[in-house]
Amino acid sequence: KSGFIGIIGRPNVGKSTLMNQLVGQKIAITSPVAQTTRNRLRGILTTPEAQLIFVDTPGIHKPHHQLGEVLVQNAKIAIESVDVVLFVVDGTVACGAGDRFIAELLSRSQTPVILGLNKVDQQPTDSQQIDDSYTHLAELYQWQTVKFSAKTGLGLPELQNLLIENL
């Protein structure tokens, strides 16, 4: 099995940290490709069962002006050009308008989505309300959810398995 995984999410949720942690030393940065792919980094993870090519994207902001619209347009192209989207959210804060904006964008695509709750190492002791806010979102769109820490590596084997299953 092999396929492209798009890492999508708000800025600062840990997308780049995650890709670096997943691909480790094997990081492969391709030369810049034309236009919309210019600022996307790729990393390849080879396991006995599969080859996963991760596409790290710039964070998606809810647009407030025309430049924002261009970024959203680019994100849409990124979503359509991968086999699976890993929608990364920040597990230290509850789901907000920025996440819901991206979720709505993703729901309009045919590309399968996995919701990845990151930074579990830094969650407050009572994280139930935070978790519930994302569970609610995942149930709304019927997405599978996985929790992990890109920083410590906790939960990343489970994440890998889920990604491979969805290829």
Residue 98 contact among ligand GDP, Mg ion, none, beta carbon within 5 to 8 Å by kind: none
User: Among candidates 9, 29, 12, 34, which has minimal Cα distance to 100?
Assistant: 9
Given the complex with Mg ion, which of 13 and 137 has the nearer CB atom?
A: 13
Coil/strand/helix, residue 109? coil
Backbone angles phi, psi at 117, to 5 degrees: -90, 110
Coil/strand/helix, residue 74? helix
Taking residue 77's Cβ as centre, other Cβ atoms within 10 Å add up to 11
Is residue 16 a contact point for Mg ion (CB under 5 A)?
Answer: yes
Q: Give me the least distance between CB of 1 and ligand GDP, in Å please.
A: 26
Chosen residue from 2, 12, 39, 144 binding ligand GDP by CB under 6 A = 12
Write the binding mask 139 to 158 for ligand GDP: x where contact by CB under 6 A, - elsewhere. Answer: ----------xxx-------
Is residue 83 a contact point for ligand GDP (CB under 6 A)?
Answer: no
Q: Using CB atoms, what's the residue nearest to ligand GDP?
A: 14
CB-based contact 108:66 (threshold 8 Å): no
